[in-house]
Structure 1
């Protein structure tokens, strides 16, 4: 390694959404246990309320526990996105930028709870994304489709293409992609027209404020460029 190159230390991001899963699980279990005891002592209503609240808290802890321990990983060659439905590796040389997303609202702008990832080429993403992950993101991005529709209406743009569910996608080489991956890619294409990004990373997947994460992300990208 030349003296001009820098050694990158892999960094893993723990999602905020997974925090306190053990606390909520124990709290829920305790509430359920106490609720059952109250039921035995004929305190039906308080016991029932505590039982229902405990079950809800226990389920919250369970769903937090099911989230992957790490949401993102940054290393020398890739940015890796982890979901419970699978993982996706994105090469640094396919990444253009990462930035906060904002849309027009009234007289100003409002930020979305997503960071926008811009890519040079979507094809490697569609080729490598696990099917379960593509399906999960397709449904998650429905809310962003509504945001894109409002943004298009604000600009006075044609909204017809946003109101249609395309069943395929044409890549940069003119190849037609169908089935689930084609539908997912078509949804990403729709969103990019009005929100300007290729992928959308929820800020609840971060372990720090979004400004600090973007700074970390871009520093890895810049160091990758220096080390090539």
Structure 2
């Protein structure tokens, strides 16, 4: 298996949005200079819309061109705020996380990774990314608590900031690493996975991506088995 790269869907049409924003602004300016009789609110709406479309395009363009790098050794998540890395041998399973909604199971817009040992991930994650993921996943934690622990009246302990985190090996983590480790532990208890990659970071629908990842995993295992026999 060679190195595989996943390009995020969030970057799609970035240039089109930028061009569209500039074009709308140019048309608005032309109409204004031509003394078209529009209400003041309409002019403001056109300016706001052109700026919003352009800024959306810029936001898409600043996203990394690659979100996941998959090699025979590991899976690396790339984000503009940093990276985390997960060894294949440290990966237990992956799938779309689901929560209970009444008697049904509802899929969440993520792919989840269940990890055997979080220490290598904690050692690899950049502090800026750890802080960002804790903040980004607050709504994921809130949804999981509402649906998986509806009997709880006080969710405060889930949002407390820990002073430290003690790994099973006895290693002590502090600061943002401890905060990220506790959040991963909470989500594992509620949803069954430690690490989460949003659907917007993938290049295909979640179910197709999981099938593709399974094929990659099987191919890797086949190549590894053949290499061990030599």
Give the TM-score normalised by structure 2.
Answer: 0.88
Residue 147 of structure 1 and its aligned partner are, at CA, apart by 1.5
Match of 2:78 among 72, 82, 100: 82
Per mean C-alpha deviation after superposition, the further-off stretch among 58-67 and 144-153 is: 144-153
Give the equivalent residue in structure 2 for 1:36: 29
- Whether the 8 Å CA contact 2:83–2:124 is kept in 1: the answer is no
| More off after superposition, 60-69 vs 164-173 | 164-173
Which of 13, 22, 29 pairs up with 2:6? Answer: 13
The gaps in structure 1 that reach 5 residues or longer are: 1-7
Where does residue 116 of structure 1 map in the other structure?
112
Shift of 1:156: 6.7
Are the equivalent residues in 2 in contact too, given 1:35–1:48 (CA < 8 A)? no
Task: Give the root-mean-square deviation of aligned CA atoms.
Answer: 2.0
User: Which of 160, 165, 180 is residue 164 of structure 1 equivalent to?
Assistant: 160
Aligned residues: 221
Contact map agreement 1:104 1:154 (CA 8 A) in 2:
no
Residue 171 of structure 2, aligned match among 161, 171, 175: 175
- Rounded Cα–Cα distance in structure 2 between residues aligned with 1:34 and 1:158: 53
Report the Cα distance in structure 1 between the residues aligned to 2:67 and 2:168, rounded to whole angstroms. 29
Shift of 1:183: 0.9
Say if 1:152 and 1:158, in contact at 8 Å, map to a contact too.
no
Structure 2 partner of 1:216 = 212
Determine the C-alpha separation between the residues in 1 that align with 2:104 and 2:89.
Answer: 34
Which digits, 9 at most, give the CA deviation of each residue in 1:172-212, with x for residues without a partner? 21222111111111111111111110101111111112222
Task: Write the distance in 2 (CA, Å) between the matches of 1:120 and 1:223.
Answer: 21
Name whichever of 125-134 and 205-214 sits farther off.
205-214
- State the secondary structure of the residue aligned to 1:117: strand
CA, structure 1 residues 70+211, in 2 after alignment: closer, same or farther (shift >3 Å)? same
2:109 and 2:206 in contact (8 A); partners too? no
Query: Does the aligned pair in 2 maintain the 1:161–1:190 contact within 8 Å?
Result: no
- 8 Å CA contact 1:166–1:183 kept in 2: the answer is yes
- Residue 134 of structure 2 corresponds to 138
